[in-house]
Every structure is written in structure tokens, then in C-alpha cells.
């Protein structure tokens, strides 16, 4: 029984670590929001843009990006990418905001 507990504990720790490894963080300028999609411009390369189609439930508790007062502000954005299927059964990537921190 103790061995089973240790195995379950081990896999719980490993799977939790993998979840953290699936996130990335970028520093970007909030450009605008349109119909549930959030657009950012990379703070170091204005030719690089980021489009986020979704956000975790808690991501906008501090900064409500539907408010235009955040346009032009710089954020550290923690996100993950998930693969979904479209209506034609084709795979596409969905970038999901996990956490926002405004850079002062």
C-alpha cells in the first residue's frame, strides 16, 4: 500500500512539473481587443505580434483587457498553446493567456 502511495505521489509531481513546462512568458504591448480576441505587439520587435483567442478564468481578474485604458501598456504574459480542431478536422493552435502582469 505504501508503494502504491509513493507511485501515485511521484506521478502527481511529474505531471504537475510538466504543466509548468508547457507555459511560456512574453513581454508585449497590448494593442487591442476585438470580439473576444486579444492582440499584442512584442515589446522588443514590433513586427512580431501575438493573438490570444482564449484566457483562463482568473487571467483578467486584475487587468480587464476589454477596457481600452490598457491599450499601449506593457505586460508580461504567461500563456500556453493548445491544439484544437476546426470544422474541417484540421489542427490549429490556440494561444491561451494564463496570467498577466503589467510592467511598470
pLDDT in tens, 5-40: 434 444 444 444 444 569 999 999 999 999 999 999
Delineate the domains of the chain, giving CATH numbers in brackets: 23-102 (2.40.50)
Q: Other CB atoms closer than 10 Å to residue 95's CB: what's the count?
A: 20
pTM, rounded to two decimals: 0.76
Residue pair 95/50 in contact (Cβ under 8 Å)? The answer is yes
Sequence-ordered list of residues with C-beta below 8 angstroms from that of 99, at least 6 positions apart, any chain: 56, 58, 59, 77, 78
pLDDT in tens, 62-96: 999 999 999 999 999 999 999 999 999 999 999 99
Amino acid at each position: 500500500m505504501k508503494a502504491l502511495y509513493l507511485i501515485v505521489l511521484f506521478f502527481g509531481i511529474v505531471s504537475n512539473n510538466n504543466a509548468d513546462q508547457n507555459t511560456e512568458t512574453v513581454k508585449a504591448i497590448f494593442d487591442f481587443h476585438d470580439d473576444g480576441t486579444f492582440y499584442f505587439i512584442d515589446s522588443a520587435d514590433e513586427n512580431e505580434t501575438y493573438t490570444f483567442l482564449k484566457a483562463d478564468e482568473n487571467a483578467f481578474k486584475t487587468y480587464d483587457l476589454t477596457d481600452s485604458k490598457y491599450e499601449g501598456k506593457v505586460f508580461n504574459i504567461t500563456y500556453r498553446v493548445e491544439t484544437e480542431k476546426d470544422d474541417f478536422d484540421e489542427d490549429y493552435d490556440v494561444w491561451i493567456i494564463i496570467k498577466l502582469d503589467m510592467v511598470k
